[in-house]
Structure 1
């Protein structure tokens, strides 16, 4: 207050005290409701009578004073005076600022560079308004997730952002139920440089708000709309007509979005749209047909829970012959994906490298063979809960394609069904990564077979393979000629020191990640081999193993583990407070240490350890 009263730049105060008698003042009528909204949040307090001050002036006069402040720093300081001043300041746009005679308003970087996140209780209109003033036009990315239960984010908060952050490029609004089309329209009009918009669980936003975005934010490149029940076809069609730079589109669980909306958007953005994700929408075969016909630029396509799309839709999408650039395809819970559809996709999408199928119950070994015969560029295949695919179908892909990564998760059909010895089957020298999780029919014999067929493996993930024993894993370890780099054996409760010792002996020179979480039969003997031989190890997880204080001492004194960044000993019941000083001697390379559920280590010991390993993130 004193700074304003003593300000002598242009004798502003005497001039404005007489202002009610003059004409020509700037009085934006649409700003008055915003003043009222912020004023309602202030608590009513009884105050003694004070001499007349700037607070006695009407909002319009205060607006005229504040817009004549010499710079954004002064306006930012003025925002701390009261919520009323803050509310007035949020209505001052760049075009409203009056430049002084000596060069006027200080300039800020036009494209912005700051990032701000508001979540839960801190997400209020006041906090957004204060941020808009404080960032002084430099905000580039804003995320609002959830809001204060009593004073949640409303259109008023977004209007403040629109007024004070014209350089905003990325906006995410998640689970903010009070924001309506009016707030989104303010953002669209005030933040015309917006490039990425993410709206999730905003029930009061409809096509009207999207139309405002489409008409004003012509640089929009990415749009995500999730669980917005009132967004429909009209808004998407407007985005397609006006936003000709759109490259990424994600629409999930919006019940009003139909074939017309998808068709209008895709057909208008055929030259730029590269990534499309559609999930839980009531669209039919026509939408996939439009994607196939206009998807000239599409490289990444994800289709999930499209219950009204049948085999015909996938067949037409492929046979439109326009998805020539498609490299990644993910399909989840779509009953229309059949062997015929899968074969058509492989035949008509020559650039396809990555395929993920989840809960596609009509895919069989015949479909996998047809796909493998046409997918000449395939690099990775992920099958999850595709129960009609057996080991025969998987091997068809391995021996025919040049696949580098294979993942099988919860595939009940993958079981021991091969009667031919490995010597009669062609090898797959291209496979580098293998993941097999929760496939109960996949046994030690199956793993040994895959290990013999794939000698160039570098990464294996067998987490949760409860029936896996030393006899099943040792052949794979022995046949790996390239050198294993990442090994995840978490939950393999039957493995012993025999396997880990062999692993360290044969692959210690290349092993960077080793996860033995839950391997209850792995003891200090394994730790000794790991410490002696694994010279490039960066991450080691010994959680819930049989390691003791002696094993910790070995790790702490091992010169070979100079690159170790992450160490987890969570749930190791034999590790006691005796290990605390030993862990304190770990090298400066250690960035993360997990001691959760180590009940024999006290909180006081953890505190001492934190002081000694001040650079390390310790979980306890």
Structure 2
């Protein structure tokens, strides 16, 4: 794509920069070029530098992984210093250094964000989540996986102001307990996807309230939620007819007696039926699995 753009500079083809920037180049051409290549174009000339700066100011989606495995802090600040119309923001590649001071100005300027990815950004604080709540009323998807700083008060703020949420990832947010999850699902009843994985504080109360408040729920991750028991799974089966996948690996108090109802409905589960697990273990031990007629 970059080569094609450069070829447009030849005299026989005219100059790419002659095309209308805001009507043609930015919305219909540059949006299809990888961000890392666009940044390289800035070194061609001052005109290209101005064009790319205008593109960055009008960028709708920013994913730090498009630039490389790690983006320097100074480069990040420079790239987004003029952004005001972002709709999607993914910053998992900034987890090593991203702080409130870096992120809050971006949130203050961009009120149209509907998708934010902050997985592993452990140097942020509850101020970030409060700012998201106050500045992003149209938020649909939010990932806070492995963000230990998320607490019940900041989650309540999110629930109060972002009621259109459809997907929330709270994996390993270990400060959260049942009461905070219950408040979230009561306020955000449109949830379709929720992860509460790797949190030993989450129990039956949170799961049952989720089931009763979120009839549109399609995906639920309870991996490693040791306090979840069979009763919660039965309530899920009763109140969530659209459930498509459920993860309960390492939930030692959840048995096949409750999962079987979901399995019959075709819900994707991350644990095998007991007989199938036994056959796999037997095959590992003896090197083959004997033929068993499971229809008997």
| Normalised TM-score (structure 2) | 0.72
Distance 1:415 1:256 in 2: 36
CA drift of 1:267 comes to 1.3
Name the counterpart of 2:115.
Answer: 196
Cα shift at 1:415: 7.5
1:255 has 2:174 as partner:
yes
**Residue 300 (structure 1) aligned with residue 204 (structure 2):** no
**Is contact 1:203-1:229 (8 Å) kept?**
yes
- Aligned in 2, Cα 1:137/1:288: closer, same or farther, shift over 3 Å? same
Deviation, 1:140, is 2.7
Question: Match for 1:169 among 74, 87, 94?
Answer: 87
Q: Higher strand share goes to which structure?
A: 1
Counterpart of 1:446 in structure 2 is 291
Q: Kindly report which structure 2 residues correspond to 1:479-558, keeping only aligned pairs within 5 A, or say none.
A: none
Matched residue, 1:327: 244
Segments of 5+ residues of structure 1 without an aligned counterpart are 1-72, 74-104, 123-128, 359-382, 395-410, 417-437, 454-620
CA distance in structure 2 between the aligned counterparts of 1:130 and 1:337, rounded to whole angstroms: 59
Matched, 1:290 2:209: yes
User: Displacement of 1:280 after TM fit?
Assistant: 0.7
Describe the superposition over 1:341-367 as per-residue Cα deviations: whole angstroms up to 9, x where unpaired: 325xx2xx6994233233xxxxxxxxx
Following superposition, the deviation at residue 269 of structure 1 comes to 1.3
Q: Matched residues in 2 for 1:198 and 1:171: separation?
A: 6
In terms of fraction of residues, the more helix-rich structure is: 2
- Secondary structure in 2 aligned to 1:200? coil
- Deviation, 1:205, is 1.3
Q: Are residues 1:356 and 2:279 paired?
A: no
1:227 aligns with 2:146: yes
Q: How does 1:59-458 map to 2 (within 5 A)?
A: 109=27, 113=31, 133=53, 135-145=55-65, 147=70, 152-153=72-73, 157-158=76-77, 160-174=78-92, 175-270=94-189, 272-281=190-199, 282-318=201-237, 321-343=238-260, 346=261, 352-358=265-271, 383=272, 389-390=274-275, 411-414=277-280, 439-440=284-285, 443=288, 446=291
Higher relative contact order (CA 8 A, sep 6+): 2
Gaps of 5+ in 2: 1-16, 41-48
Q: Distance in 2 between matches of 1:342 and 1:274?
A: 20
* 1:208-266 superposed Cα distances (whole Å, 9 cap, x missing partner): 10111121112211111121121122232222222232211212112222223322221
Give the aligned partner of residue 614 of structure 1: none
Q: Secondary structure of 2:248's partner?
A: strand
Aligned-residue offset at 1:412: 4.0
Question: 1:198, 1:157 → 2: CA distance?
Answer: 15
Name the CA distance, whole Å, in 1 between partners of 2:177 and 2:52: 37
Structure 1 residues 117 and 293, CA gap change in structure 2 (3 angstroms):
farther
CA pair 142-441 structure 1, distance change in 2 beyond 3 A: farther
